[in-house]
Amino acid sequence: MPASDIQLEEQRGVRILRLRSDDGTNRLTRQFVLSLTDAVHSLAREDQLLVIAGNHRFFSAGADLEEIAAFDGPAALEFSLMGQALMRRIGEFPAPVCAAISGYAWEAGSTWRWLVITGLRRRTPSSDIAGLLWA
């Protein structure tokens, strides 16, 4: 997923970092994780609330399993460290970060569980949308 598939929007003074892909599933490829990490790092300079969102069908389908299946040991380790770097950037963001999740968020269980350990607070505004807030 190229960097252009991460779209920054502003609605009512709130920055929304929208995950986008041609097929709409927002799979986590190496390129996508790097692009998202860079975007979060750049936005941290502004010290303003950030919402990370997907689309109405998918927040994210999780890791791109086809890409992961081709990894050897060192590549798998590198991908894992890239994911950890992204979560660290989000965890250290200077303002609250929310995940606006509607639709599928596959593999989110382990990711959000890790974020709870680092200080994530959960809020559930409705049965089909979960808002996750990092403080």
Q: Are 6 and 20 in contact (CB under 8 A)?
A: yes
Please give the domain boundaries of the chain with CATH numbers for all domains.
Answer: 3-134 (3.90.226.10)
Rounded Cα distance between 104 and 19, Å, is: 13
C-alpha to C-alpha distance for 89 and 32, rounded to whole angstroms: 15
Mean pLDDT, consecutive 10-residue stretches, the chain (135 aa), reads 72 90 90 92 90 87 90 94 89 85 67 47 40 43
- Give the pLDDT score at 111: 56
Nearest-angstrom CA–CA distance, 84 and 92:
12
Give the Cα separation of 44 and 128 in Å (integer).
Answer: 29
Number of Cβ atoms within 10 Å of the Cβ of 38: 14
Instruction: Identify the pLDDT of residue 131.
Output: 46
pLDDT of amino acid 14 = 87
Q: Which residue has the tokens 């959000």?
A: 112
The whole model's pTM is what? 0.76
Give exposure, 27-36, as e/b (b: 16+ Cβ within 10 Å): bbbbebbebb
